[in-house]
Structure formats: C-alpha cells, structure tokens
Structure 1
Amino acid sequence: MAITSRLILLFLIHISLFLNSSAQTCSNHTFSTNRVFSSCSDLPYLQAHIHWNYIPSTRRVQIAYRATQTSTGWIAWAINPTGTGMVGSQAIVAFLNSNGSTTVYPTPISSYNPSMQPGALSFKVSNISAEYSDNEMTIFAVVGPLNNGTTIDHVWQTGNSVSNNIPQMHATSGPNVQSMGRLDFLSG
C-alpha cells in the first residue's frame, strides 16, 4: 500500500510541475503580429498580463493587455490618472461584436454603472486595435504622452457578456474588484 501511495504522490508532483512550467506567463508569450515588448507583468487577478515599451523621448507607452476570455465576453484595461480604482479610470475595452469582428475603443469610467460607450479619454491614446484567438483577447494601444511621470494606477477587467454591442456589468466580488494596482513603466 505504501508503494502505491508513493507512486500516486510522485505522479501528482510530476503533473503539478508540468502544469506550472507550461503555464502562460507574460515572458514566454509570442504575439501573432510579431510585436515585441521589452517589459511585461503577470497581473495577479483575472488571468491577465500587461506588456509595454516605454519611449522616454516621447513619454509614450506602447501597451498590449491580454486576458483569458470567451467569445461572448469582454476585457478592459485602464489608467486612473486621479486616484485608484475603477471610478475615474480611462479605459480601453474590447470584445467580439455580434457579427464576429473585434471591436475596441476608449471609454471613460465616471461611475460604478458606466455606459461603456465609446468616448474621449483625458489623455491621448492612439493605434488602438484588438485581436481574439484561443480564448484570449488582446488590446494594443499607444498611450501618452504621460504627464505625471512613469508610475500609474491601473485597473484591468473582464466581463462575461456583451448585449447589443455594449459590454455588460462584470462580477462585483472576488478578483473582479481586486484587479487594480500600480505600475512603473520605467522600472517595471
């Protein structure tokens, strides 16, 4: 009996090591568009990752935000230039719309019940695009120039449904309300 238990334990350890070593991280990700980012961070919630290139001469940041998502859901990444958390954040949202094409646009988040409609942000954002493949959505954009230095408060999000091409409310507990932090584009 002891030999069987040891074999099972060794098997479970082997499987655990395999799963951990094959897990998707930001550092081993290759973008289908052959884009390259010099820095990245595996975000602690929502199976999400942020990649970036900071360009000191222009104070702009090229970003790629990736998150696991089904074809019926949405993702968003935002900078909050005035505080922490969701309210006040300036977001870029992406989803597959009803005809199957990818939709991506900026939207300011001014309340806990935002419209999620396209709108102007309080800072420049350009070159916005998105792609969806293998249950992962990615947002690409150029943000800036950054006026308040290279450290930002950011928020990231995923939601499970889109109705009439409008992202619907995300979960209001667990990882969905914990998905925020600080990020320094210069030091990582």
Structure 2
Amino acid sequence: MRPHTLALLLLLLATPAATRLASAACAGEKFPAGRAYAACEDLPKLGASLHWTYDAAKSSLSVAFVAAPAAAGGWVAWGLNPTGEGMAGAQALVALAGSGSGSAAPTVRTYNITGYVPLGNVSTPLDFPATDLAADAAAGGRIRVYGTLQLREGMRAVNQVWQVGASSTAGAPDKHAFQPDNLGAKSKLVLAGKSPAAASPSPAPAPHASGGGAASSKSPNAAAAAAGVAAPVALVLALVGFLATV
C-alpha cells in the first residue's frame, strides 16, 4: 500500500464518527429478555455505563446502571442530583452484592442523600418516585441495577452521579474510596435535545411486564447520529476494497 494512501485511510478511521463507534462499548451489553434501552453512555469514571429510555410525555426515565464494585461483596450506586453536582442531594439507587455463595441476587436500596453521612440498611424515599427496582450480577463481577424514576415535568437535563464501594456491613454500604476517579464520578445526563457525544442508541425497549416506564422510539437526534456514524464507516470500507485491487 502506498504511504500517502495509508495516511488517508488512517485519517478516515480517526474521524469523530468512527471514534464514537469504536468507543461505544456500552452498546454491546446484553440484558435479560424484556429489558432494552433507547440510549447508552460509557461513563468517564470507574468503568461504569448507563443505559436509559426517557418518555418525555410521561416524564418517566427507565435506567440500567452497570459497574463493578470496588471489591467482591461491595456495592454500586447511581443517582440524579437536581440541586447540585455532588453526592449531597442525590436521589440514588444502590445495589449491594449478594451474600453467601454468590448466587443470591444483589439487594437494591434507594437513598435520598441529604449530606455526607453514613447510609443505613433501610431505603429512604426518593424525590423522584422509583418503581421496577431490580438488580442482577453480570460477567466480570459487574452489577446491573435497574429502575424507573418519575421525573419532574419538563426536565431536559440533570446532574448524575455514580459510585462503587468495596464492602457493606449489616446491609448498609460502607464508605467508598476517595481516589480521583471516585471524586470525579459525575456528569450531566441530557434527557432531551442534543445527546452526549458518547451516547449510542440501542434497540427501543419492549413493554415491561411490571408496568415500568413506557417505551419510546429513537429520537431524530439518535437517528442522525447513527447516520453520521454509518457514512464514514461505509467510506472506509469502500476505500479498503479499492486498495485491495491496486
């Protein structure tokens, strides 16, 4: 292959659309039957990802948060914070790893985190009423926690926070580490309008037997993003085929 032709091929592969396609690891997550989400995002810290469907007509947000605890027997947490960027004020879903032989499903709790104080072993009500709560264990020691939150009407974006811990005591999550990744585990979740650069659409969710958030179709933004990815990839494939003949 000629040097200038190779350089052109590498330039095409480095386009933003191709880069997004390669980085959207969350799109490969396989959920149990009946659970699918319209969008996903590989979160920038702690190796976590978020999958979600937002029904704007009902202000309903169905989510699946995926992360590995900091150690076996630990916990994972994800939440929305309508009042700030940190944990204080977060409306959180927490999943504690199953005990015993490891076959037990993780336990899900909800916490309205009013300050930086230890969390108990009993759920507290959220400002965003939560339904369809569940969790399961996935490959690689990861935990997936599911839920549907009833948001306030007209919400378009909200701060999200997430965290992982190494242990729990008597059914309550113990303190997490305070390394840079732990402290930086926060971002903006865009529910309507321009999608995050890392978002990648997946199949629209099927109706859920428990009556969780209603499914919604892909937005025009998601369709446009998919088209933007497909075009550079098709161009690269065509170029590779041409080069094979010269």
* TM-score tier (shorter): 0.7 to 0.9
Partner Cα separation in structure 2 for residue 132 and residue 22 of structure 1: 25
Aligned twin of 1:57: 57
Partner Cα separation in structure 1 for residue 44 and residue 134 of structure 2: 24
Aligned twin of 2:93: 92
8 Å Cα contact 2:38/2:52 also seen in 1: yes
Check 1:38–1:24 CA distance in 2 against 1; reply closer, same or farther (3 A cut): closer
Partner Cα separation in structure 2 for residue 27 and residue 97 of structure 1: 26
**Relative to total residues, which structure has the larger strand share, 1 or 2?**
1
Could you tell which deviates more after superposition, 100-109 or 171-180? 100-109
Partner Cα separation in structure 1 for residue 126 and residue 152 of structure 2: 13
Normalising to structure 2: TM-score of the pair? 0.63
8 Å Cα contact 1:94/1:102 also seen in 2: yes
Q: Does 1:45 align with 2:45?
A: yes
Kindly report the root-mean-square deviation, in angstroms, between the aligned alpha carbons of the 2 structures.
Answer: 2.0
Which protein has the larger Cα radius of gyration, Structure 1 or Structure 2? 2
Aligned twin of 2:81: 80
Percentage identity across paired residues of the two chains: 29
Normalising to structure 1: TM-score of the pair? 0.82
Q: List per-residue Cα deviations over 1:16-70 (Å, max 9, x = no partner).
A: xxxxx99881112111335211101100000100000111220101100000234
Displacement after TM superposition at 1:178 (Å): 0.5
Displacement after TM superposition at 1:91 (Å): 0.5
Higher relative contact order (CA 8 A, sep 6+): 2
**Relative to total residues, which structure has the larger helix share, 1 or 2?**
2
Check 1:146–1:110 CA distance in 2 against 1; reply closer, same or farther (3 A cut): same
- SS of residue matched to 1:175: helix
Q: Does 1:104 align with 2:108?
A: yes
- How many matched pairs? 168
Check 1:65–1:176 CA distance in 2 against 1; reply closer, same or farther (3 A cut): same
Runs of 5+ consecutive residues of structure 2 not aligned to the other structure = 1-20, 196-246
Check 1:181–1:24 CA distance in 2 against 1; reply closer, same or farther (3 A cut): closer
Partner Cα separation in structure 2 for residue 158 and residue 142 of structure 1: 20
Residue identity opposite 2:180 in structure 1: G
Aligned twin of 1:153: 159
Q: Does 1:119 align with 2:120?
A: no
Q: List per-residue Cα deviations over 1:101-149 (Å, max 9, x = no partner).
A: 4200211111222324410011211111111122110111111133451
Partner Cα separation in structure 1 for residue 33 and residue 65 of structure 2: 14
